Structure 1
Amino acid sequence: MVQYYHVCKRELWFMANGIDIDRETPNIQRGTHVDQTSYGDTRRSFLIGNRVQLDILESGEVMEVKVSSALEKPARMQLLFYLWYLRKVHDLEKDGILAYPTERKRESVRLDETTTAEIEDTIRGILAVVSLDSPPELKTKPYCGSCLYQDFCWM
């Protein structure tokens, strides 16, 4: 939900209200393939509860793998949420790595006072969006044309 919140609040609302996208589309399949085939020898996936799934590198860092850096802030916020969750819920201090294997790009991510406040604001924002009776107002974004929810927005 963190990533959806920073990409499109309407998309977040649709997903949170059980209106899910077709997971078999080429873009979704490409992302799944990159995630499943990158860094497989140095990372392991963990499911915490039934909602939080994260990857841990052998070094102990939390890793988030994305196909492209086009939506870098949402990906960084998702990783920061994992770091915040581990700190707040499990009292574990971890650093993170945001990786774009197709671009051969990696970035270190750390949770600090500023990013902690951003994550906590995001969580409050998510709760506000998902509690709405109808989706938030439509705001056109550069990537609307490739969004799998566009049929719901542009009807």
Structure 2
Amino acid sequence: MSSIPEYIADERDPHREPENRITGLMVQYYHVCRRELWFMSRGVDIDREATNIQRGTHVDETSYEGRRRSYQINDRLQLDLLDSGDVMEVKVSSALEKPARMQLLYYLWYLEEVLDIERDGVLAYPRERKREQVELDAEGREEVEATILGIIETVEQDSPPALEKKPYCDACLYQDLCWV
């Protein structure tokens, strides 16, 4: 696949399995570490019982109870809608704010471009008592579309991207595949 219009057409066709299935988590990984994205795309799964995964799951499940509903869309999006209709993404901390924001922008883009549903978003960090309104503007749309093409390029590579030491590598659940 070489273009965004092709990606949208694949996603809209109910009779065909898209060549590239891009999830919100893949968007997040793309902006955190492309090597992590590549491993995930090959079915190398992380330990769901790890402390930081459990902490994130707990914050997600216990925040804003009763004020949001969860939806799974086309096996790609796992999103929450607030009573207001806004799409909400809940994160433990704002340490990786850009990846979280891009994940939410992808949800908004997918809803609009593939399903013809326009929504705004809310990025929430309950432990920090911080919320940010997110709208899909022209700049965000360009970033999402560049991300989609970048994800496709990354996962189609025959080998993982080169090692790149980042400040959060020590906490990464894939670190044993990189720094052994």
Q: Which whole-Å CA distance do the structure 2 matches of 1:145 and 1:47 have between them?
A: 31
1:96 aligns with 2:121: yes
Where does residue 112 of structure 2 map in the other structure?
87
Q: Which whole-Å CA distance do the structure 2 matches of 1:11 and 1:77 have between them?
A: 16
Q: Which whole-Å CA distance do the structure 2 matches of 1:118 and 1:51 have between them?
A: 19
> Partner amino acid for 2:116?
D
1:48 aligns with 2:60: no
Structure 1 residues not aligned, in runs of 5+: none
Following superposition, the deviation at residue 51 of structure 1 comes to 2.0
Where does residue 118 of structure 1 map in the other structure?
143
TM-score (norm 2): 0.85
Where does residue 60 of structure 2 map in the other structure?
35
Following superposition, the deviation at residue 52 of structure 1 comes to 1.2
Indicate which of 129, 148, 151 corresponds to 2:173. 148
Residues paired across the two proteins, number: 155
Q: Which 4+ stretches in 1 moved above 4 angstroms?
A: none
The two structures, once aligned, show a CA RMSD in angstroms of: 0.5
Partner-residue secondary structure (3-state), 1:39: coil
TM-score (norm 1): 0.99
Identity among equivalent positions (%) equals 69
Structure 2 residues not aligned, in runs of 5+: 1-25
Q: Which whole-Å CA distance do the structure 2 matches of 1:145 and 1:53 have between them?
A: 27
